[in-house]
Amino acid sequence: MKRREFITALGGVAAIAAWPLAAHGQQAGVRKIGVLWHAASAEEEGAYLGALREGLADLGHIEGENITLENRFPAEKSERFISFAAELAQLKPDVLVAVSRPAAMAAQRATTTIPIVFSLVPDPVGDKLVQSLARPGGNITGLSNMALDLSAKRIELLKDMVGGLSRVALLVNAGDPEGARRYVKQSEAAGAPLGITIEPVEVHGLGEIRTHFRGSIS
């Protein structure tokens, strides 16, 4: 399979178009894929890691046969995103997969030559990861969940569903302060004219999500 086909297949349903790729890394035999996750372990990323392996296998890329996965788990710590991205770049993989905004930003910092495919990035244009959704440019492409652009609409829909709504707790990722700041700003701008106060709640891990929900219900 040609390199462009390999990267496009890996990107799957990426909302951003494929970009011209320069020759890089291994050209034949076993290909190496670096994956920068956001949780702390393979167990925490189990469902998504399994889905990645399954999706690659469906396309004929079998781990241990014609591809190897170099996984790194930064545990939502900013310094680990940076150090692991640099470590993966040093391995010269055929492609670097970045899961989440902090991972994508760290990967962009680590290399301008290795192809990068990101996922779960709310605003790749605003983060200057890509030039535009239609023409990403550079060595980066991927899938945006458009979550930032949808923040205002979510508040409007909540108001429609709960007529007397006056306060909304907004769970934000404490491991991504800049991303959290943008979510809060967009939500507050949408809530103000509707008489809704936004109360940001920082979450540092999965366990805290359960705790915050229990606290809200009690």
Section 128-146 average pLDDT = 88
Judgement on whether residues 41 and 137 belong to the same structural domain of the protein? yes
Give residue 10's pLDDT band: very low, low, confident or very high (50, 70, 90).
low
Judgement on whether residues 99 and 177 belong to the same structural domain of the protein? no
Judgement on whether residues 174 and 89 belong to the same structural domain of the protein? no
Higher local confidence (pLDDT), 195 or 20: 195
How far apart (Å, rounded) are the C-alpha atoms in residues 96 and 32?
A: 9
pLDDT attached to residue 29: 82
Judgement on whether residues 69 and 168 belong to the same structural domain of the protein? no
Judgement on whether residues 113 and 192 belong to the same structural domain of the protein? no
Judgement on whether residues 152 and 137 belong to the same structural domain of the protein? no
pLDDT attached to residue 216: 55
- Residue 157 sits in a domain whose CATH number is 3.40.50.2300
132 φ/ψ angles, rounded to the nearest 5 degrees: -160, 165
Q: Is the pLDDT of residue 85 over 80?
A: yes
Of the candidate ranges 20-34, 131-145, 194-208, the one whose mean pLDDT is the lowest: 20-34
Domain C-terminal end among 94, 124, 144: 144
Half-sphere exposure of 154 (CA within 13 A, CB side): 15
pLDDT in tens, 196-210: 999 998 887 666 777
Give residue 217's pLDDT band: very low, low, confident or very high (50, 70, 90).
very low
Contact status, residue 139 vs residue 180, Cβ threshold 8 Å: no
Max distance between CA atoms of the chain, in angstroms, equals: 62
Section 22-32 average pLDDT = 60
Give residue 218's pLDDT band: very low, low, confident or very high (50, 70, 90).
very low
Section 55-76 average pLDDT = 93
pLDDT attached to residue 206: 67
Judgement on whether residues 12 and 94 belong to the same structural domain of the protein? yes
Judgement on whether residues 54 and 138 belong to the same structural domain of the protein? yes
Q: Which two tokens stand for residue 189?
A: 């701008």
Give residue 21's pLDDT band: very low, low, confident or very high (50, 70, 90).
very low
How far apart (Å, rounded) are the C-alpha atoms in residues 14 and 21?
A: 16
**Total structural domains in the chain?**
2
Q: Is the pLDDT of residue 192 over 90?
A: yes
Range of the domain at 132: 3-144
**SS3 assignment, position 113:** coil
Q: Is the pLDDT of residue 92 over 70?
A: yes
Q: Is the pLDDT of residue 24 over 70?
A: no
Judgement on whether residues 131 and 157 belong to the same structural domain of the protein? no
Half-sphere exposure of 43 (CA within 13 A, CB side): 1
Q: Is the pLDDT of residue 16 over 50?
A: no
Q: What ranges in 12-130 are assigned the alpha helix state H?
A: 46-58, 78-90, 101-110
Judgement on whether residues 133 and 156 belong to the same structural domain of the protein? no
pLDDT attached to residue 1: 43
Judgement on whether residues 140 and 209 belong to the same structural domain of the protein? no
How far apart (Å, rounded) are the C-alpha atoms in residues 103 and 37?
A: 7
How far apart (Å, rounded) are the C-alpha atoms in residues 208 and 203?
A: 6
How far apart (Å, rounded) are the C-alpha atoms in residues 70 and 39?
A: 15
Q: Is the pLDDT of residue 19 over 50?
A: no
pLDDT attached to residue 28: 56
Q: Which two tokens stand for residue 129?
A: 């990861």
How far apart (Å, rounded) are the C-alpha atoms in residues 146 and 134?
A: 14
Judgement on whether residues 13 and 105 belong to the same structural domain of the protein? yes
